[in-house]
Amino acid sequence: MKKSGVQASASLKEPSSPSPSDPKQQSLPVGEYEVFLSFRGPDIRDSFADWVYRGLVRSKIRTFRDEEDLQRGEKMEHFLLRAIVETKIYVPIISPKYVDSRWCLQELAKMVECWKLGKGHVILPIFYFVAPSEVKKQESVGFKSAFKLYGEKFDAATIGQWKEALKQVGEMKGWHVTEHVGQGTVINEVFVQIESHLRNSYKLATDELVGINSHVEKMKKLLNHVDSASQKIVGIHGMSGTGKTTIAKAVYNEVSAQFDQSCFMEDVRRILSTENGGDVTLQTNIISSILKVDSQVRNVGEGINIIRDRVCRHKVLIVLDDVDERFDFDRVFGRLDYFSTESRFIITTTDKRVLIKFDHKLYEPEEMSHEYSLMLFSKHAFGADHPPGEFLDRSEKFVEAASRLPIALKVIGSLLFRRDMKFWDAKLAELRSIHPTKVQERLRISYNELTYYEKQIFLDIACFFVGEGKEIPFYMWDGCGYHPEGGIDSLLMKSLIKINEKNQFWMHDHFRRLGEHIVHEDYPQQSFKRSRIWSNEDALEILRARRSYYRVEALRIDMRNMIEGQDGVVPLMKKLPGLRYLEVAYGRLVGDLKEALPKLRCLRLRHCSSVPANFSMEELTVLELRGSTVKDDWKGWNGLLGARQLKVVDLSSCRDLETPPDLSRCPSLQVLNLSHCSAMKGQLPISSLTELRQLNISRTKITELSGGDNLTTKLQKLQTISALDSALTSLPADLQHLSSLKTLEWTTNSRNATNVDHNKLLFLPAGLTRLTLSRTKVANLSDLEDLEELRFEHCPPQTSILEDIARLFKLKTLMLRFSEDSSSQDDQRAITTMALPLSLTRLHVSHCIHRETSFPSLVGLTRLTELYLIEFSFLEIPSLNQLVALETLRILKAPNLVNLDGLEGLEHLIYLTFENCGALKTIPSLRASSTKLQKLVIRRCPRLTEIQEFDKLKKSLPSKLIRIRECPSLVIVDEEGSSSGQDSARTSFVSTAG
């Protein structure tokens, strides 16, 4: 028995539970699946159980389902038991034959075992034509017969465990399906309970929930009771730091389930402040979030059209957080009346004027009560809801001195955590001396307590790195001796910064402005005396000056479309001897920097038409010349001979470089990126780079990673090798000993294919999670238990490898492109019996051109969202009806394919393409996917005669998204049975644009 699941999301209600402890006090387990559906296959697989499963999938609930007719091995059994432990909710459907399956009994026993631990697991049993009392007592003939047979094969302890599990479940409150109880009613009730238990899993993370309930209730009344059909916007207004975002998140968590689709857009002001296409970025984010697709809007007009045609058809909730005067509703959304009267917008702002042009309601949060303020302060100062007795008086004084401002309470409380009375008294006096309206000065108390190094990191983030990855600045700070690991931890603990899910720095606007203010305050009118310069205007002011400025430590300038100052950048650098961070984009940097920039740690020159030479690299930790014009004879390479602190070298897209630079004197190097250096060729010596973590030589002409014998013993920290579309002829012979390696990408372009030994076996390290190979034989894949992504291109025939793929239980992406020569016939035939991992979400198969092959079974691939089949000779494809999560289907160059079974049941299909399918005659009805379908492309299918119910489809899909060309036999059949040829159809509703 194997299991499979579909990833999705749901909106839910407050739970009630049969678990032995109160679930409201228990967080549900966090795992890959949310519901484990257990049933005896032959009884109900194609009826009741299938209806339950499909309903869960439609609700976007990640569900494990029985496929009992598939073989279960020892590894799969272990996988299933682990899945039970990690799953939140168990739904055993106990039918008359349930007890005949020892696998079902084993699963049920494991469910009860987890449930008894009281860690939030929930069992929701369905008794399908079996009375709960029968399950509890186990006295019927069926139960007795089954256990009699088990007694001959299993020990008494095991059988006792199974019987006890049945007894426990039989005593639980569940649903009893009989001839008199509608199965649809039971299924609906089960869904309500499942959604109820899952609700908390879908809540946005909020900073504080102290006293939030009253705000939520007031907001719900404003959302529900509108004065007119046009009143769809509720604004939350107040000064920064009063908790507007927290309130908006809590309201979103509470009411989003009442809408068809919802999204929460944070930092709208920051998004709109970007120089290039802020409105387009906001549109893209909203469309992607609402439609659950990766979208890229090209311009504002296109974004408005997509929102009008596809977003507005839903009842939506859209929250726009931190909006300022730059926001123009009509420019982002088109018009408010595009949206249904049931849709709602929540807008948080410090400026009421952004709401004036709309019919709106306004909520202005009242000051936090003393009780709640004390609780919020205590959470951060003591990690408890209330202060200890000896700190109560001082805590109350801090609450009042902070004017009950939430952000101030949080930051000051964090500052006082585990500090003594003397420190408390000093900070209280300092806080009381600040005027109540000066929020930033109050927050500065926390900044003042940072160490010197922590302050430098804080100011760098505020001025340069909000929204950027932490890797590059981390290396720079490390080179400066700022101890970034501890410093970043300290800033996190003091609630001054956050690190988001993309590993990027995030900072509240109050702290960002505080950092900028601290840099400005000493010299408000003299930018050249400040420590950090991040605006082009200030940088140009320095360019015009004629003296040295020792105070400037970090500078960023974008010289795109800048005429003035291009020739002054290098002289500028000479005037900034204290510079440790320099970032220049699109500059023309002419000149010599000999003996300049002695303190420079990070140099980032992006797309510069010329690069200065002869600067010292002795202290440099990051050298980034991405896309810049540098050649082999650049004098700056001499600096690498002494660059013993260098940790990052990024020369990507330096297309004039022909030879890799000599990095042998860079023993600290950890990241080397040479990708897209299209002229670079020859050997790359790396044996001396013992600290190397990441290596990228994709799209270069480098042929060898050289370093003598036992190369991998010298590279035991290497985690990533990327060599896509490369000229690399081989990998190190002892690669399998590289235990740290997680990502291996090696594909050779066709020009260099003859230089690769196709018959040499490649032995792989067991810890890989991503693997991409071409024209290469591998020893085995079965040991790669953590592999999540596998791409094979033009690989020599290896039937055993196709068999190994079935054992990769964590595999999510599989892409197979077979070799086109005749030697791969056996390999292509083997695909017929190949078992595909049930964990797959993406599957691409191409160039199966031998007629004796057929496509493998698709049974159980209920998580698959993307299927590409390109250039194959299959006469048919297995039924698609189990691909319940499929969103993209592309079938190209399939000359023998006549019909396609199961297409009519794909409810989540978004993109559908048929090209060069010479034998295809009929495309079945797409009624099930008509509400989701975004694009239909049919090209060069000369025998295609009909698309069933096309008349109905064209009403739900704009004509510009339907492309039909070179299908001379096509006849469109509508519901009434009338038809039209492609010529007449083309003029009315079929776009012929390619």
SS3 415: helix
Question: Can you tell me which residue has the tokens 């984010």?
Answer: 285
Q: Active-site residues: which are they?
A: 107
Question: Residue 44: which of 249, 219, 183, 235 has the closest Cα?
Answer: 183
CA–CA gap between residue 919 and residue 916 (Å, rounded): 9
SS3 583: strand
SS3 623: strand
475 and 457 Cβ atoms separated by less than 8 Å: no
- What residues contact residue 272 under an 8 Å CB cut-off, 6+ apart? 278, 279, 282, 324, 326, 327
Question: Number of C-alpha atoms within 13 angstroms, CB side, residue 46?
Answer: 4
CA–CA gap between residue 744 and residue 839 (Å, rounded): 21
As given in the structure block, the two tokens for residue 971 are: 């006849």
| Adjacency order of strands within the sheet including 360-363 | 261-265, 316-323, 344-349, 233-237, 360-363
First vs last Cα of the chain: how many Å apart?
46
Question: Number of C-alpha atoms within 13 angstroms, CB side, residue 820?
Answer: 6
Strand partners, 940: none
729 and 697 Cβ atoms separated by less than 8 Å: no
Q: What is the DSSP letter of 466?
A: B
Question: Residue 37: which of 71, 68, 78 has the closest Cα?
Answer: 68
User: Other CB atoms closer than 10 Å to residue 382's CB: what's the count?
Assistant: 17
CA–CA gap between residue 194 and residue 11 (Å, rounded): 10
Helices 471-480 and 452-460: crossing angle in degrees, nearest 10, is 150
Rounded alpha-carbon distances, angstroms, from residue 69 to 52, 245, 836? 19, 51, 15
Question: Can you tell me which residue has the tokens 């606007």?
Answer: 509
781 and 754 Cβ atoms separated by less than 8 Å: no
- Ranges assigned E (strand) in 483-599: 498-499, 505-506, 532-533, 554-558, 581-585
CA–CA gap between residue 40 and residue 23 (Å, rounded): 29
